[in-house]
Structure 1
Amino acid sequence: MSSAQAAMPETAAALFEAKTVVARDTALSTLEAAASTDPASAYAAGAGEFFTALELLASGLHRHGFESPRSFMLPLMRLPVPENPNPEPLTYEQFRAILVAFRNRLEKSAATLGSVPANADIGIVIDLTQVGIDLNEDGTIAPDESIAAIMASLSRGVAPDDAAPALTFRFDRADGYWLQGYAEFLMAQADFWLAHDFRSTFDGSFHMLFPRAKLPLQDILVPPAGDMGSSIFSSEWRIADFISLVHLVNWPVVEPERRQAARRHLLEMIRLSREDWKAIRAETDNDREWLPGPQQKGENPLTGLEVGEQQVAAWLATLTMAEDLLEGRVLLPHFRITGKGINMKRFFDEPKPFDLVLSITGPAIAPYLESGTILTSDDFDQIQSEFGGGGFLTFALWFN
């Protein structure tokens, strides 16, 4: 491959090893100023912007006493935010503002990473135990706030306690596509929420997430501290509030362009994943790979998995399947409807109020039903079988 040489700038090391928010932000500003002329600076700046997007979300949640439900059903709500004994009150408008700030920083990160030339020779070595975000708004980046510790928390479902073992990778051009794709994925989630008015859900159930933030039903429904349990299904009151949350997901559309944008973000994520694998397969080295190709042998220290040709081929087939669904070329099946499927392109592009329960039971998806080619369980099972003991979900979270 031809390449535009881009040595790792010293400021990038300062960014990824900073122990205070001030030092981190100073280094990030320097990299952003150099991004237009230096590919490595743009690459590092885009990564820094991604991490600070997570920090904006985490700090906003912490400020109002967020307690993570640690549930895969609420993916944006799984950050291991430390306990805040003196939370500030939270309003619906403030919560939307937190999501907007998070989403807009992700958009900035995606644009910066997208400015890196496809043939740039990138090689930035990062120890994930050294780079982190300020989860508790104290201005410092502690060992238990490192990306390695946060990832360990997300995988174990418990809050980080001790520093994680060393986890060092050399991030190259392919990994930039990977991170940019994850920014698009998270923007899709944020835009879907923001497309709707979810005030009734907030007022009626969000005290399960912010039990001391003066939400409307706090005084009636939140039990004394110590009686709440740590997960959605760990106590009767949390189960009750989760049922309320599901029941109250009947959201009018207030910003239809955001629901349309969510589909575009997902399509861009698919495009970037293809670019990622194109770049990975062209690599001839095997140097601390974040996401190795089949030619880069050895178990990955993060996942303990080795990537083979069958997994890559199956993943590329998965991308085609997802793209066909989002473009309406293939229809999504519904368990109680035969002969017709859901046109997901129209679901996003012709938004109607989103009712979760009625979508599951059928009435809410009736406007999007069409005749045509319907995805079958056999289509997916054939792909899933190629991922072996590691399981499709593990590879999917890693591959993006």
Structure 2
Amino acid sequence: MRLVLPLTLTLLATSALADTNTLVAENGLVGAVAQLSAQTGKTPSDQFALGALHFLRGIEKTLQVRWEYNATIDDLDLPVLRLPVPPNPDAKPFRADLITGLFAELLKDMDASRAALAEIPDGADVALDLNLANLWFDINMNGKRDLGEGVIEVGANTLMGEINFGEMDGIPPMDVRFDTADVAWLTAYTHMVSAAGEMVVAFDPTEAIETVMNANAKMIELRGNAPQQFGFDMQFGGWVDQFAMAYGALNKQPDATHTRAAHAHLLSMISENKVFWAAVAQETDNEREWIPNDNQTAALGFKLAPGTGAAWQAVLADVEALLNGDLLIEYWRISPAGGVNVKKLFMDPPVVDIVTWVQGSGLLPYLERGPVISSRNLEEFDELTGGNIFLMSFMLN
């Protein structure tokens, strides 16, 4: 699950004021947020820009923290953690509470983004002309744009591996006009990121990370100067450590306050998504569209098959039914009579114990008889998108 392109593109939604393209290009996200926040008499388009800037600034902070501590995390498919950061030759020692703190701060930035977007009156006209190539993250915090710090570069390198934009003739213009419907799209995206953040905070991996770090330090001490006989540690050690950290975090009682907040964010994401697609369906223009309806053209050149919006809404309707407990996830030991009630998992979360979940005793309070979700809508969406289901689902959220 790579939050990549959509992130890249949601990130794009950044500019809006008089000339946000120039504002962000010359001042970075910190300066752009400060200047636009201080501006009086902001228009709906300016409010959208401010919401997008807060969103982008939140992503930028996560990249800066990871760069500051050389926190390269390649094996956990979590939002923002998959985005690439360059090596820091003078990094600070990694802290066990870094990941939880990173997501806790990200939650605040998503709140700030939604607060700005909420100031836009219902139905107000929004029109933001943006060149996505002007957007950049100050990852190494030196106050200037370096190679690899463009939003497009960060997203492309996450999706397609290392790309050297320096060997190209720059990044071509990527002009997009974000409009009224996109307010709901960006709002939905903030809820998706917040849901992920709430789940990380709910399971707070700090203790598990500290346990692994302490164990590694002790094993290094025990090995001393003895040469390593095998290369397993170099090849697999990092992956094993990350798995142990994740498993240790999951295998404990999570904080129900945060899992319930994540549940609410997911439902809000779906609600805003409905608003977005309803508004998109009514558009009759064709002006550099971000996500087009069946009669429009995407500004960035990608094509959506006719019926993509309806197919995606069907997928989200299934997800909504799961979140509300109206559909169950099939469970092998009681199939086809019923399955797992996902709503109960969020409302009264259990320890995630792989052994007892597979055997059934750990999930018993959440098992019940009832209709189970079908994969039919997801399969139809996958076929419609040509197999690019993960990329398209993140773009459409």
Q: TM-score range by the shorter chain?
A: 0.7 to 0.9
Cα deviation code 1:243-288 (max 9, x no counterpart): 4345424343453211100000011110111111111112111111
Q: TM-score, normalised by structure 1?
A: 0.83
| Alpha-carbon distance, 1:380 to partner | 3.5
Q: Which amino acid aligns with 1:111?
A: A
Q: Which amino acid aligns with 2:394?
A: L
**Which 10-residue stretch deviates more, 153-162 or 354-363?**
354-363
Change (3 A) 1:98 1:380: closer
2:43: which partner in 1? 38
Q: Does the 8 Å CA contact 2:175/2:299 hold for their aligned counterparts?
A: no
Q: Which amino acid aligns with 1:250?
A: L
Q: Does the 8 Å CA contact 1:246/1:357 hold for their aligned counterparts?
A: no
Q: Does the 8 Å CA contact 2:202/2:254 hold for their aligned counterparts?
A: yes
1:329: which partner in 2? 326
Q: Which amino acid aligns with 1:96?
A: T
2:228: which partner in 1? none
> d(CA) in 2 for partners of 1:295 and 1:357?
50
1:187 maps to which of 190, 194, 199: 194
Q: Which amino acid aligns with 1:331?
A: L
**Which 10-residue stretch deviates more, 39-48 or 175-184?**
175-184
Q: Which amino acid aligns with 1:398?
A: M
Change (3 A) 1:363 1:238: farther
| Alpha-carbon distance, 1:128 to partner | 1.4
Cα deviation code 1:145-172 (max 9, x no counterpart): 1111111112113376535433221111
1:235: which partner in 2? 235
Q: Does the 8 Å CA contact 1:15/1:48 hold for their aligned counterparts?
A: no
> d(CA) in 2 for partners of 1:77 and 1:221?
27
Q: Which amino acid aligns with 2:172?
A: P
Matched, 1:201 2:208: yes
1:171 maps to which of 178, 189, 213: 178
Matched, 1:15 2:23: yes
1:49: which partner in 2? 54
- Give the alignment's Cα RMSD to 1 decimal: 2.9
Cα deviation code 1:192-228 (max 9, x no counterpart): 11112423431355x6xxxxxxx662574699xxxxx
What are the equivalent positions in structure 2 for 1:1-400 lying under 5 Å apart?
9-10=17-18, 12-18=20-26, 20-21=27-28, 24-34=29-39, 37-69=42-74, 71=75, 73-158=77-162, 162=166, 164-205=171-212, 217=216, 220=219, 235-253=235-253, 255-297=255-297, 301=300, 304-308=302-306, 310-338=307-335, 339-355=337-353, 358-359=356-357, 362-385=360-383, 387-400=384-397
> d(CA) in 2 for partners of 1:373 and 1:234?
48
> d(CA) in 2 for partners of 1:8 and 1:238?
42
Q: Does the 8 Å CA contact 2:338/2:367 hold for their aligned counterparts?
A: yes
Q: Which amino acid aligns with 2:365?
A: P
| Alpha-carbon distance, 1:300 to partner | 5.5
Change (3 A) 1:332 1:25: same
| Alpha-carbon distance, 1:392 to partner | 2.5
| Alpha-carbon distance, 1:48 to partner | 0.4
> d(CA) in 1 for partners of 2:354 and 2:163?
30
> d(CA) in 2 for partners of 1:246 and 1:361?
21
Q: TM-score, normalised by structure 2?
A: 0.83
Q: Does the 8 Å CA contact 1:68/1:81 hold for their aligned counterparts?
A: no
**Which 10-residue stretch deviates more, 193-202 or 340-349?**
193-202
User: Equivalent residue of 1:236, what SS?
Assistant: helix
User: Equivalent residue of 1:352, what SS?
Assistant: coil
| Alpha-carbon distance, 1:142 to partner | 3.1
Change (3 A) 1:190 1:355: farther
Change (3 A) 1:261 1:202: same
User: Equivalent residue of 2:154, what SS?
Assistant: helix
> d(CA) in 2 for partners of 1:204 and 1:379?
42
**Which 10-residue stretch deviates more, 89-98 or 366-375?**
89-98
Which protein has greater RCO, CA pairs closer than 8 Å, 6+ apart? 2
Q: Percent identity?
A: 25
Q: Which amino acid aligns with 2:116?
A: T
Gaps of at least 5 residues in structure 2 are 1-14, 224-232
> d(CA) in 2 for partners of 1:292 and 1:186?
23
Gaps of at least 5 residues in structure 1 are 1-6, 208-214, 224-232
> d(CA) in 2 for partners of 1:342 and 1:160?
46
